[in-house]
Amino acid sequence: MKKTSLQFLQTHLNMANTVDDFALGLFGEASMDNKGDRTPYSLFIEAVEQVPIAISITDKKANILYVNQEFSRVTGYQPEDVLGENESLLSDKRTPKDVYYDLWHTIRSKKVWRGTLCNRHKFGHRYLADLTIAPMLDEQGKVTHYIGMHKDITRSYESEKKIINQKLLIESVINSSPIAMVVIDNQDRVILDNHMYKVLVTDLDKGEPALYFLQLLRNEMGDLWSQLQSNEQGFNNREFKVEGKGHQRPRWFSCAGNWFMENEVDADAFFENASKQYLILTITDITRQRRQMEELHIQTLKTIMSEDEGVRGIRETLLGAIHQIQMPMNQIRAAEQILRLKRDERQASLLQILQQIQQSGEEAIATMQNCIPEILQAAVVPVNLNQILHEVLLLSDQRILCMGIDVHWHPQSDLPSILGSENRLRILFKQLIDNAIGAIGISSTGEQRLKITTHADADLIYVSIEDSGPGIPIEKRAKVFEPFYTTRPMGGNQAGMGLVMAKEIVNQHQGFIDIDPGYDQGCRLKISFPLHRQELRRLT
Ligand code: FAD
């Protein structure tokens, strides 16, 4: 008859008097009841037999003396297959030698070893054993036996690995994305980010980029932000301009976000479901697209402006010519009146000639007046002067670059808008900036500086255009706003109408334009406009 596990152990325990003694050795005080009596041996044996963990007891050389039912279930080996055999029977020989070395070194030093081994089931398949080996000591503290406890963790390891693999896969997909992605928890802490996001951290110089963009988004969306958050509704295409580091050009980013809930995994949430909200924020650098759009816009503006300049040139030339003809015409008219009053018959033919000249002169003026092209009425909309000035600077950038002009551009961020015609305002500032560039070109100081600033107070928006040119002498400052007055030689479409037209546009926008009398290092024009009424309401 085959020996059971227990009989085998009993036979082996020639040094222990009874199995009760061995149980005491195994379970120590736990094998005593609260009166200090030994609990029945069978109770312990039954407990060990039925415990759902594979238990084996070996001698000092790992020869198996006892195995429980779970051991047979996990390994496939019945007690009669393994009793007397070495535990190495279970080894698949894939476990590195170092692991065994560590195992033996630990248990021989009378310590508990914990680790994972690759075991081979009786039927040949491998499984992962989560193993704990504890040494058992005699009264002298010498190792007498080892007790091994193991579980098959193949399934949980597989699931764990699958999750890790999925996480790695997701991470590599996210990392290879050209879009910066970041997961933020409900306390604005960055939980996960990708490679592009890390690039932004160093590139932007704005601290934690997620916090910077969150601030911009919250400011821009106001109450909408919390509405979307509580309804877990996403948002997209929120575009922001970010000023570059030092002299770097500004960059543009488009933000999109989606909220999601994750179930809490800590012990507190085991019986009571608890979840936490996270935001996936994606930040796309759209600077290239923006610049392309801007270039296209500038090209279109250049075309519109050059057409407009052509029209203005014709207008100014014709107005200049009419103005020039008016003087001799006035003289002829005066001569004709004198002759008419004299009623001298001898001068009758001269009078007739003068009248004919006068008539054809007036016809010529009328023809010219009819030829003056109309300037079309433009739509009145809220206009951001920073944008207009920025565009005009871009329109003039070739001249600015060629002349090596040092441009100091100081726009007030969040400048309120004015109500006006975009195109007329563009013409106004193009005229003023062209004048400034022209003045810098003839400056004898050697300094090539153009400074443009914008700012606003409660009622007005101020623009200042300052150049390092020769300036306008005090006695000429009032005259430059008069028609056909120019400090430069007349000709072409430079008919001295630039500042007249500028003043007219400023007036149309209920603004003021002045030459700053206190500025003596060139010319500084100060222009002011009333705030757009809605902006006023917003400010008050
Ligand atoms: P082995 O030649 O047996 O040993 C490899 C290395 O282990 C040796 O080079 C040596 O460094 C060390 N070693 C082996 N025996 C001793 C010893 N008696 N004293 C000091 N060092 C020694 N192994 C498993 O693979 N799966 C198990 O589930 C498992 N359970 C165990 C349970 C208990 C209670 C004990 C004590 C050991 C258990 N072992 C288990 C370890 C097993 O006994 C073998 O050491 C291991 O399987 C390696 O066997 P091997 O034939 O490949 O090499």
Residue nearest to atom 22 of ligand 1 (CA): 104
pLDDT average, residue stretch 40-58: 87
- Tens digits of residue pLDDT in 193-220: 999 999 999 888 888 999 999 999 999 9
Q: Domain check: are 248 and 331 in the same one?
A: no
Q: Domain check: are 220 and 311 in the same one?
A: no
Give the position, in ligand 1's atom list, of the atom nearest the Cα of 133: 34
Report d(CA 48, CA 26) in Å as an integer. 11
Give the position, in ligand 1's atom list, of the atom nearest the Cα of 104: 21
Q: How far is the CA of 126 from the centre of ligand 1 (A)?
A: 17
Residue nearest to atom 1 of ligand 1 (CA): 88
Give the position, in ligand 1's atom list, of the atom nearest the Cα of 90: 26
CB 317: neighbour CB atoms within 10 A?
Answer: 18
Quick one: pLDDT at residue 44?
Answer: 79
Q: Is 169 within a domain?
A: no
- Tens digits of residue pLDDT in 169-192: 988 888 899 899 999 999 999 998
Give the position, in ligand 1's atom list, of the atom nearest the Cα of 56: 34
- Tens digits of residue pLDDT in 90-112: 999 888 999 999 999 999 999 99
Mutate to test the pocket of ligand 1, among 88, 92, 133 (most ligand atoms within 8 A of CB): 88
Q: How far is the CA of 133 from the centre of ligand 1 (A)?
A: 11
Q: Is 166 within a domain?
A: no
**Res 36 pLDDT > 70:** no
- Nearest Cα to 144, choosing from 102, 104, 110? 110
- Tens digits of residue pLDDT in 471-499: 888 888 877 887 666 666 544 445 566 78
Q: How far is the CA of 62 from the centre of ligand 1 (A)?
A: 7
- Write out the DSSP string of 31-45: GB-TTSPBPPHHHHH
Q: Domain check: are 140 and 49 in the same one?
A: yes
Helix (H) or strand (E) holding 198: helix 195-204
Residue nearest to atom 47 of ligand 1 (CA): 88
- Write out the DSSP string of 24-74: HHHHGGGGB-TTSPBPPHHHHHHHHHHSSSEEEEE-TT-BEEEE-HHHHHH
Quick one: pLDDT at residue 12?
Answer: 64
Residue nearest to atom 51 of ligand 1 (CA): 88
Q: How far is the CA of 104 from the centre of ligand 1 (A)?
A: 7
pLDDT average, residue stretch 260-280: 87
Mutate to test the pocket of ligand 1, among 9, 57, 87 (most ligand atoms within 8 A of CB): 87
**Domain CATH number, residue 12:** 3.30.450.20
**Res 51 pLDDT > 70:** yes
Quick one: pLDDT at residue 303?
Answer: 84
Quick one: pLDDT at residue 445?
Answer: 74
> Which residues have CB under 6 Å of ligand 1?
56, 58, 61-62, 86-88, 90-91, 93, 95, 100-101, 104, 108, 117, 119, 129, 131, 133, 146, 148, 150
Quick one: pLDDT at residue 22?
Answer: 54
**Domain CATH number, residue 511:** 3.30.565.10
Give the position, in ligand 1's atom list, of the atom nearest the Cα of 91: 25
Q: Is 34 within a domain?
A: yes
Q: Is 64 within a domain?
A: yes
Which of 100-104, 133-137, 310-314 has the lowest average pLDDT? Answer: 310-314
- Tens digits of residue pLDDT in 394-424: 888 888 989 999 999 999 988 999 999 998 8
Q: Domain check: are 198 and 245 in the same one?
A: yes
**Residue 97: domain span:** 5-152
Amino acid identity for residue 254 in this structure: S
Residue nearest to atom 25 of ligand 1 (CA): 91
Q: Domain check: are 108 and 201 in the same one?
A: no
Q: Domain check: are 400 and 311 in the same one?
A: no
Q: Domain check: are 394 and 504 in the same one?
A: yes
pLDDT average, residue stretch 452-466: 94
Quick one: pLDDT at residue 73?
Answer: 97
Helix (H) or strand (E) holding 430: helix 422-441
Residue nearest to atom 15 of ligand 1 (CA): 61
Higher pLDDT, residue 37 or 376: 376
Q: Domain check: are 99 and 74 in the same one?
A: yes
Quick one: pLDDT at residue 18?
Answer: 44
Q: Is 119 within a domain?
A: yes
- 25 pLDDT band, cuts 50/70/90, is low
Which of 9-13, 199-203, 286-290, 488-492 has the lowest average pLDDT? Answer: 488-492
Quick one: pLDDT at residue 313?
Answer: 79
- Tens digits of residue pLDDT in 207-263: 899 999 999 999 999 999 999 999 999 999 999 988 877 667 889 999 999 999 988
**Res 154 pLDDT > 80:** yes
Quick one: pLDDT at residue 152?
Answer: 97
Tell me the average pLDDT of the chain: 86
Q: Does residue 393 contact residue 408 with C-beta atoms inside 8 Å?
A: no
**Domain CATH number, residue 280:** 3.30.450
Quick one: pLDDT at residue 373?
Answer: 82
- Write out the DSSP string of 292-352: HHHHHHHHHHHHHHHHHHHHHHHHHHHHHHHHHHHHHHHHHHHHHHHHHHHT-GGGHHHHH
Domain boundary among 267, 285, 303: 285
Residue nearest to atom 4 of ligand 1 (CA): 100
Q: How far is the CA of 31 from the centre of ligand 1 (A)?
A: 30
Quick one: pLDDT at residue 540?
Answer: 35
Q: How far is the CA of 161 from the centre of ligand 1 (A)?
A: 27
Give the position, in ligand 1's atom list, of the atom nearest the Cα of 61: 18
Residue nearest to atom 8 of ligand 1 (CA): 101
**Res 539 pLDDT > 70:** no
Q: Domain check: are 269 and 298 in the same one?
A: no
Q: What is the total count of domains within the chain? A: 4
Q: Domain check: are 253 and 344 in the same one?
A: no
Give the position, in ligand 1's atom list, of the atom nearest the Cα of 131: 28
Give the position, in ligand 1's atom list, of the atom nearest the Cα of 147: 34
Q: Which two tokens stand for residue 113?
A: 């070893």
Report d(CA 10, CA 65) in Å as an integer. 9
- Tens digits of residue pLDDT in 156-171: 999 999 999 998 998 8
**Res 132 pLDDT > 60:** yes
Q: Does residue 13 contact residue 35 with C-beta atoms inside 8 Å?
A: no
Quick one: pLDDT at residue 50?
Answer: 92
Helix (H) or strand (E) holding 366: helix 348-371
Q: Domain check: are 324 and 398 in the same one?
A: no
Mutate to test the pocket of ligand 1, among 104, 118, 146 (most ligand atoms within 8 A of CB): 104
Q: Does residue 483 contact residue 500 with C-beta atoms inside 8 Å?
A: yes
Q: How far is the CA of 88 from the centre of ligand 1 (A)?
A: 5
Q: How far is the CA of 320 from the centre of ligand 1 (A)?
A: 110
- Tens digits of residue pLDDT in 321-354: 888 888 888 988 898 888 888 888 888 888 888 8
Give the position, in ligand 1's atom list, of the atom nearest the Cα of 129: 28
